[in-house]
Amino acid sequence: MENIILIGHGSPKKDANNIELAGRLLHNTIHPNCSGDCVRVAYLQFAEPEIFDAIRECVESGAERIVIHPYFLSSGIHVTKDIPEIIRKAEETYPDREFIYTEPLGIHQKLVHVVMERIYDANGLKPQDIEKRSFEIISEEMDLSSVPPEQVPIIKRVIHATADFEFRNTLVFHPDAIKTGIDAIRAGKDILTDIEMVRAGINKRLLEKWGGRVICSIQQSAFSHQQSEVKTKAEMGIESALKENNNIGIIAIGNAPTALLKVVELFNQTLTPDPNPLVIGVPVGFVKALESKALLSAQKFPFITNLSRKGGTPVAVATVNALLKMAEGK
């Protein structure tokens, strides 16, 4: 078993001894969903735990390999002398354990990005500047060179909405999906959503420029609450809207797998407008969510989906809003 110890200098000012947050972030990054104490913190002086105490705790918890990282910017006397002396003492005390001592933070390109963010923050960013900088960070931290160019704006906006880079690999596009969506927007087609939250998040100002509306029929369903013996409200709302409105160009489902399954069923019965609308199916959850999206990904009509349990309103909204921006030429 391996443990990691982040070492801070420590300060007489208690509020300054806060590298525990960095430790938690590191732990969540390298060991997601782990409840153990794989990453610990320690201080050289003025704060607890001290370095040797943290090492002892690692040993007592069963760690056979202990990685020690000096959370310092440069290789000063603490990094080159004080901390190594403590490690040598630990090696003598625990000769059957392996100790790895890393370089300090030092000079690194990503630290330059951190400084830039601090400068942006100090200048008081406007909302549009924050969004612009967010997209810049996404471009810096993720390689999209192998992604078809027309998909990039959607992938970026989904990641911007979720802060989840996994969507880079899980989003799936039908070859005609983006063209179908943009053509529908420019033709003044309506956008149908499964729930009100998705409807509320879509940029109606951009859509109304082309003459389209965002509609949701969940409130018109026959039941006031979901019943296991009948269709869900979202499913009934989608079905009734498709039967009553022949101007639907995009269907955005971010919540209800049952609604997505109903769409696939209706489309295969040709009970939908011609040509078929673009289906954005990204419901989130553990029951039927992934199954419904896998089924959608095998269809011949235009779709955008993601093959994982993740998804939800932010993903559906971000996808539609990306298409709206693209239709506008941005």
Q: How far is CA 152 from the centre of its chain?
A: 15
Structure tokens, 296: 């959608």
Residue with tokens 């509609």: 215
- DSSP for 283-330 reads --SSSSHHHHHHHHHT-SS-EEEESSS---HHHHHHHHHHHHHHHTT-
Distance CA 164, CA 296 (A): 22
Q: Is the backbone of residue 188 left (phi > 0), alpha (psi -120 to 50) or beta? A: left
Structure tokens, 173: 């596009």
In the annotation, is 160 catalytic? yes
User: Three-class SS of residue 17?
Assistant: coil
Q: Which residue type is seen at 265? A: E
Structure tokens, 68: 């020690």
The end-to-end CA distance of the chain, in Å, is 50
User: Three-class SS of residue 82?
Assistant: helix
Say if strands 65-70 and 171-173 run parallel, antiparallel, or are unpaired. Answer: unpaired
Exactly one of 9, 27, 160, 174 is catalytic; which is it? 160
Structure tokens, 212: 């389209």
Beta-sheet strands, E only, within the chain? 2-8, 39-43, 65-70, 98-101, 171-173, 190-193, 214-216, 248-253, 278-281, 303-306
Residue 306: count other Cβ atoms within 10 Å of its Cβ. 26
Which residues have a catalytic role annotated? 160
